[in-house]
A and B are shown apart, each in its own frame.
Chain A
């Protein structure tokens, strides 16, 4: 059974304090790993797609990496506006996605 586990559940950082969010997974056939950002009261918003081990993608202060068993979302020198819940999702068969429970990031000024 395809499974996605995100850690930690919650992360509190000071502004400028870099850290990483983890997404570990088990899947029979990975068609893509997705990262989404979700602000309170809103729908998820797409950040990155990774398809193969070793792949990396960057956007502003965020960098996503992928291995055969896990993905990391690295956040460098975060700002308060980076506070959100970050969701990891696997794309498996026929475009269906399996989501993790998310990591809620709070960045204090």
Chain B
């Protein structure tokens, strides 16, 4: 099992450009999440998908959109990148949100620099 995979690993964008961050998991998990982590800080939730076909906003959704393509894949799109979106982006998944099943499994991250 590869677990949670993310592409690309690194990306440099110019202000105003768009891009999609890809995330896939092979653990048959129902719930998936996108976080951003700024230097010296913890993770902040951008969007999450409790199950296939549903998505909800997290703490910092402005400037982002998501698509739960199928059970395995959850993508994050930046329509018009801004320097404030320079960060490390982590995707995570859990079997379900139910008690005892909420442990999150994280991908290796995508490092994004917006100039």
Contacts and interface: CB of A to CB of B under 8 A. Distances in A.
Interface of A: 4, 6, 9, 31-32, 34, 36, 41-46, 49, 51, 87, 89, 91, 94-102
Interface string B28-50: 00010101000011111100101
Contact of B102 (A4, A31, A43, A45): A31
Contact-size category for B: 20 to 34
B2 to A, nearest CB: 13
A44 B98 CA distance: 20
Which of A9, A49, A96 gathers most chain B CB within 10 Å? A96
A34 to B, nearest CB: 7
Contact of B43 (A32, A46, A49, A87): A87
Contacts of B92: 43
Contact of A43 (B42, B58, B109): B109
A97 B104 contact: yes
Nearest to B42: A99
B99 A32 contact: yes
Contacts, number: 68
17 contacts: A4-B42, A34-B103, A34-B104, A43-B108, A44-B90, A46-B103, A87-B42, A87-B43, A95-B48, A95-B96, A95-B98, A95-B102, A96-B45, A96-B48, A97-B43, A100-B42, A101-B41
Contact of A42 (B31, B42, B109): B109
A99 B44 contact: yes
Interface string B45-86: 100101000001011000000000000000000000000000
A45 B106 contact: yes
B56 to A, nearest CB: 8
